[in-house]
Amino acid sequence: MQAIGVPPELEFVSVTFLALLTLASGVGMWRGAQWGWWCSAFYFMYGVFRNASAALMFLAYAEQVDGPRDPELAVLKHCFRVLLHSLVFSYFMRPHVLAFFDLQELNKRAAFWKIVGLCLTISAGAYLAAKLPG
């Protein structure tokens, strides 16, 4: 990541954020807590953003970075992850899942756009942080 200008501090913050989010999601889902649903739904939508971004960045910077010997396979891997995260996120919107978390009255469209908006905000912030002189 340093080869394309991403500082190691940003990588550390990103990995730490994902680790804490994963831990919180697991605890919240195990307890059936509403916040657990929100953390998990966000995690899977953020996974869509992360993997789509990775596929696009790999395509854009393939010549500058020592990467896999088969770039098409790497892009395919990230596209598969986008699909997988999208399917799990869709499952989280199923009525029986929402009922388990006592979210039957949740406006799915509003929840979707809140989560997407948060993902866009974090992605834009990470992009800007990577562009800071440093």
The pLDDT value given to residue 128: 81
What are 55-71's pLDDT values in tens digits? 888 887 766 655 556 77
Whole-number average pLDDT of the chain: 88
Whether 125 is in a domain gets the answer: yes
The token pair that represents 102 in the structure block:
């006592």
Number of domains the chain is built from: 1
Q: In this structure, what DSSP letter does residue 4 have?
A: G
The pLDDT value given to residue 66: 59
Whether 74 is in a domain gets the answer: no
Residue 121: domain span: 7-46+84-131
Mean pLDDT value of segment 28-40: 96
Whether 22 is in a domain gets the answer: yes
The pLDDT value given to residue 72: 80
CA distances 23 to 5, 14, 26, 111, Å, are 29, 14, 5, 22
User: Which phi-psi region, left, alpha or beta, contains residue 110 (left: φ > 0; alpha: ψ -120 to 50)?
Assistant: alpha
The band of 8, judged by pLDDT with boundaries at 50, 70 and 90, is confident
Whether 118 is in a domain gets the answer: yes
